[in-house]
Each structure stands twice: as structure tokens, then as C-alpha cells.
Amino acid sequence: MAATSVRERIILAAERLIAERGQGVPQRDIVLAAEQRNNSVIQYHFGSRDGLIEAIFEYRLAGLEVRRLELLAEQSGSDRPENVHTLVRALVIPMLELTAQHGVSHYARFLEQIQGHAAVTDAANLGDERRTSVRVIMRRLDSELAALPPRLRVRRLRALSITLFALLADHERAVEAGRIRAGDERPWHEIVDMLAGVLTAPVTEWAPIR
């Protein structure tokens, strides 16, 4: 999708450069990549670097939210029982579709670079009314994992987002390098399987390593 405003051009340029070079990429490089000359343009539109990062995240949020709610509704209307796998699928597939159907090529790597930022914390995902689908998915996953001790359940749900960002970023790099096709759904299913495995791995009794 072609950028239609200065603000959008900055968002897309920053998404790409942060994905490639990290959060510390100089603002002047973002300004140049967005074909702007005024170095204060980021301050004008976003207030700060944090404001820009939040804007990039929100730029993709609405479309992901709609698609995740669609997948949750499809699951509710089917005769298949909801489980960890179907919930992870609803969380992940819309992000993979960004590349396959909409040509978005840097968002997963952007998320990988901003792990720990306030825009993607548990508090933001569970407290923001614009992220209903994520809140529903995480609460249902928590319920599905009720047999686990509470602290372990929390750790696994936190590990889900860390592993999710890493796997999606790796997939994005593979698509860019031509090793896989963006629309090939076989790697999608593998990613879903691995993430479900992170949540449902057997709990083994601790024993000293010899």
C-alpha cells in the first residue's frame, strides 16, 4: 500500500529501519528515508521516539484486531473444540497474512527489535481496549493451561510472546531471502505447532544434571 501522508511515510520508514538496525537508528536517517528535510518532523507528528514506536504498532493494530476476531468467531461457529492450538492460530495467522496478502515485509522484525517496549508489554496488551482479541486469546490460553502451577503458567505465556516475535522475524527474513514463499502455509502451521508446544510441553521432575 502506497503511503499517502507524511505521517504514514515516516511510520513505514521507521518500521523498516528499526527492523533492520534496531531502536537506536538515528532519527535523521528515518527522516531521510521518509523523504523529508525537516529533522523536527518526528517531534511534530509523534512527540518523541517512543511516540513513533507506539504509532508504528498502532498502525498495524486495527487490521490485526479485525482478523483475529474473525478467526475467533469462525472457531466458535465450528464443531471443533477450542484448544491451545486453535487459540495460538488465531493469534499468529493474521501476522503471517500481513506479508502474504498485504506485502508487509518488516513488521515482525520491528516487533523483535522493540521487545520490552511499553507498547508491547503484557499490561498494554491486556489493558488496551483496542486489543480485545489479544486479551481474549490470552485469557482463554490461561484457562486452557489451568492444570499448570500458576507461576509456570505465567512464565509460559510470557515465553509465548518472546518466541512468537523470534519465529515470525525469522520467517520474515526467510521470505525476504527467497528461501520460502510468503504464501506457503506449511511454515505457518509449523510456527503455530512450535508455539503451542512452548505452552503445552510436559513438566518434568527436576533432577541434577550429571
Q: Each residue of 178-210: pLDDT tens digit?
A: 999 999 999 999 999 999 999 999 998 775 656
pLDDT score, position 1: 42
Total count of residues recorded for the chain: 210
Give tens-digit pLDDT for 167-176: 999 999 999 9
User: pTM for this structure?
Assistant: 0.89
Residues of the chain with pLDDT under 70: 1-3, 121-129, 207-210
